[in-house]
Amino acid sequence: MVSQGSTFGISDQGIVNHDAVHWNLGPEALYEETVRRGLGTVTHGGALTVETGKFTGRSPNDKFIVEGGASQDSIWWGAVNKGTSEEVFDNLHRQMLAYYQNRDLFVQDLHAGSAADYRLNVRVVSDSPWHSLFARNMFLRPNQDELANFRPEFTILHAPTFQAVPERDGTNSEVFIMVNFEKRLILIGGTRYAGEIKKSIFSILNYLLPERGVLPMHCSANIGEAGDTAIFFGLSGTGKTTLSADGSRKLIGDDEHGWSDQGVFNFEGGCYAKVINLSPEMEPEIFATTRRFGTVLENVVFDPVTRIPNFDDNSLAENTRASYPIDFIPNIEESGMGGQPENIVMLTADAFGVLPPISELTPEQAMYHFLSGYTARVAGTERGVTEPQATFSTCFGAPFMPRHPSVYAKMLGEKMARTGAKCWLVNTGWSGGAYGTGKRMSIHHTRAMVRAALDGRLASIAKVKDENFGLNIPEMCPDVPKEVLLPKTTWNDATAYDQTARDLRGRFEQNFKQFESHVTEDVKKAGIYAA
């Protein structure tokens, strides 16, 4: 089964002596190939359920960027962007090309970016059919005329079961994600976790787009009935997908966007939602996708007789996922684009339980919290994380930001000043105490607060100044009990609250020292409030 592909063949990328190449197969054929190879099971309703084995989340310590070339001085080198040599890259590249020989390969030619002016042509080559379906779900699918003349600008060579040998190959483990900006090539091996594919392209766009005046963002976005655009920053598990998939607003996208002079545009053509504890009552739009042909379910346990998925079972992973085309969500913006955002929501899952559930930020506070990127790493999103841990991930996406964070923060400040967008900090984490003592914030209350912020009802409500962080907390919010809005009143022990809040404020101040030389005094002081 060999399908027609681009005139720019994979031999141009060094791949020879393969068994067969399957070009741009649709879900029907990729289902067949997956099931025939014993790599997945069709479950109740039609979703394809797969397991990723040992690695059920991203492997940030195994990602490298090749040093040298034009990108050398533009990369924010360090713990996030680790360098490797051209020699190490070339050696693994040769091994992958040898591994591909006499194997079936699945190729998807795709676009990243709904806005044609900023679109990137991406090719994904894999020996795994379900990963090919994942890529097809997650990116934009060109039409037949576009495919005939398709020429990739970046190519991913993906081999999930090919493992590196650290002592020989210069890697940290058997897993490797290696980016070569000069050769416009990405190598991924040793992990079956599909999220590495989409995040690699996100990192590429995060490097390329700022030079063109576009702010790349780890955010979801939607449009209200009045045509107003809102964006939701946040790390995995903080609620980007859940809160943006609101039936009263059109979804632009759930994870990755650009903000240009023309407005906001989605990078992707699909969604990659966390589905642990998913229910039709709490998240009906997302739940419905798990019963559809074309959806890929990662590490979701199902009944072997009825094949009905059990989303409450975390025995395979806490980080269970659903990948599906965005048009599986009923209320979407088909163009994948919106206007200039009127509201910016920064989502944080506060594991200490001291940040208010919603507060309005000044422009300086917005830049401060954008650079801080405070949240809790959610169990399962990264290897080794088994419970929420307080962390700071600058720009709400540090693992995907090749440039210095100040580049992105400066762009955010400039775009906010130009458009007059309001910014809200929303805590989807804990209330009434820290993790282990308090309770997770009610999704019903969070939805009510976000809706009130986006439709303008919170703008005119009086605000009270938080005594620890200087945040402007609404005194009331429709459909939310007043006592929920002030975090201190939800704690049984006010002294414990004060001590925990001071501790968290100290963590903010310590973390922000790395950015102080890159921002104005007003931004520097925005997170240090003295009553």
Q: Annotated catalytic residue: which of 131, 199, 445, 451?
A: 199
Q: Annotated catalytic residue: which of 131, 240, 369, 445?
A: 240
C-alpha angle with apex 282: 374 to 443, nearest 5 degrees? Answer: 35
Query: Phi/psi at 512 (nearest 5 deg)?
Result: -75, -10
pTM: 0.93
Positive or negative, the CA dihedral 186, 210, 60, 108 is negative
Q: Give yes or no: 63 in active site.
A: no
- Structural domain harbouring 474: 340-525
Among residues 136, 163, 192, which one ends one of the domains?
192
Q: Give the integer Cα–Cα distance in Å for 86 and 52.
A: 29
CA distances from 441 to 291, 312, 354, 391 (A): 28, 19, 12, 19
Taking only the tens place, the pLDDT of each residue in 243-252 is: 988 888 999 9
Residue 372: burial class (beta carbons within 10 Å; 0-12, 13-18, 19+): buried
Q: Give the integer Cα–Cα distance in Å for 151 and 100.
A: 21
Contact 415, 215 (CB under 8 A): yes
Cα 438 from chain centre: 27
Q: Give the integer Cα–Cα distance in Å for 329 and 332.
A: 6
Residue 510: burial class (beta carbons within 10 Å; 0-12, 13-18, 19+): exposed
**Residue 529 pLDDT > 80:** no
Q: Annotated catalytic residue: which of 93, 111, 321, 451?
A: 321
CATH number at 163 reads 3.40.449.10
Q: Give yes or no: 428 in active site.
A: no
Domain membership flag for residue 279: no
Among residues 167, 192, 217, which one ends one of the domains?
192
Structure confidence at residue 117 (pLDDT) = 97
Q: Annotated catalytic residue: which of 62, 109, 255, 466?
A: 255
Q: Give yes or no: 255 in active site.
A: yes
Domain membership flag for residue 96: yes
Structure confidence at residue 14 (pLDDT) = 82
Domain membership flag for residue 464: yes
Q: How many domains does the chain have?
A: 2
Work out the pLDDT band at 388, boundaries 50, 70, 90.
low
Structure confidence at residue 435 (pLDDT) = 85
Across the chain, mean pLDDT equals: 93
- Looking at residue 309, the DSSP 8-state letter turns out to be B
CATH number at 437 reads 3.90.228.20
Structure confidence at residue 530 (pLDDT) = 47
Domain membership flag for residue 470: yes
Q: Give yes or no: 236 in active site.
A: yes
**Residue 19 pLDDT > 90:** no
Q: Annotated catalytic residue: which of 49, 241, 391, 393?
A: 241
Buried b (16+ CB within 10 A) or exposed e, 136-152: bbbbbbbeeeebeebeb
Among residues 192, 223, 239, which one ends one of the domains?
192
Domain membership flag for residue 79: yes
Structure confidence at residue 434 (pLDDT) = 87
Q: Give yes or no: 199 in active site.
A: yes
Any bridge partners for residue 82, and if so which? 64
Work out the pLDDT band at 242, boundaries 50, 70, 90.
confident
Closest CA to 58 of 367, 292, 262, 319: 319
Domain membership flag for residue 184: yes
Q: Annotated catalytic residue: which of 218, 250, 403, 422?
A: 218
CA distances from 453 to 423, 426, 473 (A): 9, 10, 12
Taking only the tens place, the pLDDT of each residue in 440-499 is: 999 999 999 999 999 999 999 999 999 899 999 999 999 999 999 999 999 999 999 999
**Residue 277 pLDDT > 70:** yes
Domain membership flag for residue 239: no
Q: Annotated catalytic residue: which of 43, 56, 203, 236?
A: 236
Average pLDDT over residues 284-307: 97
Structure confidence at residue 116 (pLDDT) = 96
Structure confidence at residue 5 (pLDDT) = 57
Tell me which of 245 and 175 has the higher pLDDT.
175
Query: Phi/psi at 125 (nearest 5 deg)?
Result: -110, 125
Q: Give yes or no: 218 in active site.
A: yes
Domain membership flag for residue 240: no
| Pick from 39-43, 92-96, 104-108, 380-384: least confident | 380-384
Taking only the tens place, the pLDDT of each residue in 108-142 is: 999 999 999 999 999 999 999 999 999 999 999 99
**Residue 275 pLDDT > 50:** yes
Taking only the tens place, the pLDDT of each residue in 46-68 is: 999 999 999 999 999 999 999 99
Taking only the tens place, the pLDDT of each residue in 331-384 is: 999 999 999 999 999 999 998 999 999 999 999 999 999 999 998 764 555 556
